[in-house]
């Protein structure tokens, strides 16, 4: 069964450094999403992406964040200058419109 | 904006039935979804209600009352593997491009 994959599973970085989180959505999906989840808290929407552009973003998704689909399979989230409060689990998801989103296993980001 | 409230924790006995409630306040309403998340895992879609009433999928059912801004997830014949967090979620538009998740309910199933 096709699934969303994410790399790395765990990323440790120093405050102020740039990180890129990578996702490979399900191959025939057209809509892509990033969410984050701080430990013990709810899942928070960051951004959705369709047709090579951002379609929606949340208040969390400020100028420090960017997304890109550099080729036909990858979808990346870049954080330019990480802060301590960016430490969280980051989930990528994809679908073909509709209510069901398919989530990847997540990348745990730890900012020191 | 959107806000969804759920009880933080629920404990139930293996084999029993449990109901997890979700009340919401939204600027527009396009349906209510439910996701399951095991510790350390990814959210997994369980069900969706676009209209009032009950939707059944195996041991899981989900109910929606739009007039009461309320829904619930019903889990029957509880199994130990059902121990997980459960989130209700609403899309912000009919295009489902932005989804707001509820506060989450941690279900513990005990023998």
Q: Confirm or reject contact between A56 and chain B (CB < 8 A).
A: yes
Which residues of A are less than 8 Å from B41 in CB distance? Answer: 105
Close Cβ partners of A84 (under 8 Å, ≥ 6 residues apart) = A15, A111
- In tens, the pLDDT along B11-45 reads 999 999 999 999 999 888 889 999 999 998 999 99
Nearest to B92 by CA among B41, B26, B44, B39: B26
Residue among A31, A43, A98 minimizing CB distance to B43: A43
Percent of chain B residues topping a pLDDT of 70:
97
Identify residues of B whose CB sits under 8 angstroms from chain A CBs: 31, 33, 35, 37, 41-45, 48, 50, 87, 89, 91-92, 95-104
Give the pLDDT mean for B75-94. Answer: 92
First to last CA, chain B: 40
Query: Could you tell me if B58 and B79 are in contact, meaning their C-beta atoms sit under 8 angstroms apart?
Result: no
């Amino acid at each position: 069964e096709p699934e969303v994959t994410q790399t790395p599973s765990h990323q440790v970085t120093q405050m102020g450094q740039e990180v890129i989180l990578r996702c490979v959505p399900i191959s025939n999906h057209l809509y892509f999403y990033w969410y984050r989840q701080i430990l013990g808290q709810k899942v928070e929407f960051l951004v959705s992406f369709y047709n090579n552009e951002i379609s929606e973003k949340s208040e969390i998704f400020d100028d420090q964040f960017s997304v890109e689909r550099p080729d036909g399979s990858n979808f990346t989230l870049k954080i330019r200058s990480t802060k301590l409060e960016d430490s969280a689990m980051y989930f990528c998801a994809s679908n073909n419109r509709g209510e069901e989103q398919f989530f990847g296993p997540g990348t745990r980001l730890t900012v020191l | 904006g959107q806000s969804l409230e759920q009880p933080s924790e629920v404990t139930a006995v293996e084999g029993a039935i449990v109901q997890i409630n979700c009340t919401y306040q939204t600027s527009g309403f396009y349906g209510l979804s439910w996701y399951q998340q095991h510790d350390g895992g990814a959210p997994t879609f369980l069900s969706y209600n676009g209209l009032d009433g009950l939707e059944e999928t195996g041991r899981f059912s989900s109910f929606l009352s739009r007039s009461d801004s309320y829904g619930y997830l019903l889990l029957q014949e509880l199994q130990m593997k059902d121990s997980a967090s459960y989130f209700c979620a609403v899309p912000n538009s009919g295009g489902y491009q932005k989804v707001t998740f509820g506060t989450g309910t941690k279900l513990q199933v005990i023998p």
